Structure formats: structure tokens, C-alpha cells
Amino acid sequence: MALTKVGKEGITGISNSSDATAITINSSENIGIGTGTGSIDSKLHVHGSFRQTGATAPFEWTVNAGAADTYKLNAVGFFDNLLVATSTGKVGIGTNSPPDDLSVVASGANAQLSVDRSDGASGRTVLIHSSTGGQLQTTGSVPLIFGTADTERMRLDTSGRLLINRTSASTVNPHSKLHVKADSSVSAVTLQVATNGFEGIAFLNANNSNVGSITVGSASTAFNTSSDYRLKENIVDMTGAIDRVKALAPKRFNFIADADTTVDGFLAHEAQTVVPEAVTGTKDKVDDDDNPVMQGIDQSKLVPLLTGALKEAVAKIEALEARVKTLEDA
């Protein structure tokens, strides 16, 4: 090694055995390594790669010149391409050629990128790419929130419920997996089919069998429930329909939430004694928190009974008309 002073600028160089300048200190006290007598623009200017060694793997920072310069940080002997930055502004972790502004490539089957907070709060947001597909999820008791224009629009809560335009599930039916709240004077859900006459929504039972649908036509909508004869057995003609209809007690009333509107209908528990298949729930039932679990009625299920009663009434009318005609003809 030789210490020399080079030129009138006061540049001092430490030369190697081949007399090439290895380390240079200029008059501004900037240090250049491998820069020769060239410009030294910062306090430490390294031309080529440099390596920092530790107890285990040394770290190495290299510059690969080419069509687009690539700057690489490697854990030598352990992990190549630990961090890569290109002259086009792309950053890669685990990849020598990042295709996007930020690319993460794992050496194993799963690639995982997480975002966490430094205040010790529970949970973090994780982006995962695995053999089963791409995943975006959170850990801990943290919901996954989606928004636009600095406003929350949708969230997936920690119970797996999808909430649209609301931040918490409805207390009326909290176990539903989809909760949608409309804005003022706007539909909550809009559904359009690709071809008129096809199902817009299909309903499947727990055995994965189709038991109903909503079909959208060119000018109307049909609400369908399964009724194919191949699904049924023990088929007999209905009898006693008039007596059952007489046992029904239709009422006029208003709902408490809509005091100004009077409607025709039934009290669910009363109709349940006559047509139990038309009513859901149990009279006066409450949940574990003592909230009422309201009964419901599908009034369309009364149509077969009403049809049967009407047929019986028509038969009686026709029989009476025949008797009257016989008497008139006598």
C-alpha cells in the first residue's frame, strides 16, 4: 500500500500493489472507494459492490450495469435478491426483475406481505399468494375494510359477515352473513340477468339441492319454490278445506312501525294452528339476550287451501243448483 497525493486539488489516495488508487479522499473530505481520480459526490462514494460482514451471513450491496441498472442487497450464502431496486423505480424483494412497482417473491410455496402497527395493537393486514390462490386477510380481532374517496364502503367483520354501507351488523338478524344498508332513495341491491327468463337468484338447501329461485322475465319477476311432482310422495286429494278456512281468522291491523297504514292479514300464531307449513317461528320466542324472535308467515302457502275450499264451495253450489233445477222442473 502507498499513500500518495494526487494533483492540485489536494486529493489523497491509498494505492494497491498495482499502483491503482483504491481509496481516495478529496479536499471536501469525501471518501471514494474504487473511484480513482474521478468525481466523489458524497461523504462515502463506493464504485462497484460493497459487503458488510457479521456473525452469520454478510450483506452485500451490488450495482449491476445493463439495459436498466439494478441495485441489489444480498444476504450472501443465504438469500439472493433480498432487496432489488431498478433505475425505472421498481422495487423487488426476492426477485432480480420486479415486474411491478413493488414485487415480493418467496422462495417457498407461499408469498406473504404484512402491514402492522407499532403501537402494539392486536392484528395486522396480510396479503398472501399461495398454491390455493391469492388472499387478503387480517389477523387478530381486526375487520377487513374497503373504501373509496377516503370513505368506508364495505367491511368484512371478524365473524365473516359482509357489511355494505354499514359498520356493524343489524341487531334484528345479527347472524346473517350479508348486511346491506341503502342510501336515501336508492335501492339497496340491484340485480340484472344476462338473459330474460333465467334465474336471478337460486336458493339451495343444506344438501345443496335447488329448492327455489327468483326468475326475471322481460316484464315481470317470478318467485318460485320447488313443486315438481318427482319431489313428492303420499299424494292425496284435499278434503275438509272449507272447515279449515273457516278456522282461519283474518284481521285488519297496522304494524307498530307503520301506524298510518292499515292492512289485511293474519296473526301468525293463529294461522299456525290451521296451516303450520305457512308459518315460521314460535309464539313469544326470545333469544339468549331476551330479544323477541318474531314469527313470519308465507301467505302464498294459503293458496292451495283456499283453492281447495273454493272447489268444495263450487261443488256445493253446483249440487244446490241441480236440486233447484230439479224442483223447478217438477
Same structural domain for residues 276 and 253?
A: yes
The answer to the question of residue 221 being in a domain is yes
CA-to-CA distance for 100 and 91, rounded, in angstroms? 8
**Euclidean distance between the first and final Cα of the chain, in Å?**
145
Q: Which of 183, 210, 244 is the last residue of a domain?
A: 183
In this structure, the answer to whether residues 175 and 257 fall within a common structural domain is no
Same domain, 212 and 271: no
Q: With beta carbons less than 8 A apart as the criterion, state whether 161 and 177 touch.
A: yes
Which residues span the domain enclosing 163? 143-183
Asked if 229 and 301 sit in the same domain, the reply is no
Distance CA 268, CA 253 (A): 13
Query: Is 302 inside a domain boundary?
Result: yes
What pLDDT score does 298 carry?
95
Considering the domain boundaries, does residue 126 fall inside one?
A: no
295, 244: one domain: yes
Query: Domain for residue 68, yes or no?
Result: no
- Of 234, 250, 268, the last residue of a domain is 234
CATH number at residue 256: 1.10.10.10
For residues 230 and 247, membership in a common domain is answered with: no
CA distances from 1 to 11, 23, 30, 149 (A): 16, 11, 20, 63
Q: Which amino acid is at 223?
A: F
Query: Which of 47, 62, 79 represents a domain boundary (last residue)?
Result: 47
262 with 329, same domain: the answer is yes
Taking alpha carbons only, the member of 20, 50, 58, 52 closest to residue 37 is 20
* CA–CA distances in Å: residue 89 to residues 49, 73, 115, 273, 304: 20, 16, 21, 74, 71
How far is 42 from 24, CA to CA, in rounded Å? 12
- Whether 250 is covered by a domain: the verdict is yes
Q: What is the pLDDT of residue 8?
A: 44
- Residue 76 backbone phi and psi in degrees, to 5: -60, 130
Q: Tell me the C-alpha distance between 168 and 184, whole Å.
A: 18
Residues 213 and 178 reside in one and the same domain: no
Separation CA 223–CA 201 (nearest Å): 10
The HSE-up count of residue 287 (CA atoms within 13 Å, CB side) is 11
Q: Name the helix (H) or strand (E) containing 243.
A: helix 241-247
Bridge partners of residue 201, in order along the sequence: 214
**Starting at the edge strand that comes first in sequence, how are the strands of the sheet with 70-75 ordered?**
50-52, 59-64, 70-75, 79-86, 91-93, 102-104
Answer whether residue 96 is part of any domain: no
Instruction: Specify whether the CB–CB gap between 14 and 21 falls below 8 A.
Output: yes
pLDDT at 78: 59
Q: Are residues 218 and 292 in the same domain?
A: no
Answer whether residue 103 is part of any domain.
no
* 267 and 319 housed in the same domain: yes
Whether 226 and 205 map to the same domain: the answer is yes
Predicted pLDDT of residue 177? 92
Residue 69: inside a domain, yes or no?
no
Quote the number of domains for the chain: 4
pLDDT in tens, the chain (330 residues): 445 555 545 555 566 555 566 788 887 888 887 777 677 878 877 776 666 666 565 666 666 544 356 766 666 555 666 778 887 888 888 787 888 888 888 777 777 888 887 777 778 888 888 888 888 888 888 899 999 999 999 999 999 999 999 999 888 788 899 999 998 878 888 889 999 999 999 999 999 999 999 999 999 999 999 999 999 999 999 999 999 999 999 999 999 999 999 999 999 999 999 999 999 999 999 988 898 999 999 999 999 999 999 999 999 999 999 999 999 987
Residues 303 and 286 in one domain: yes
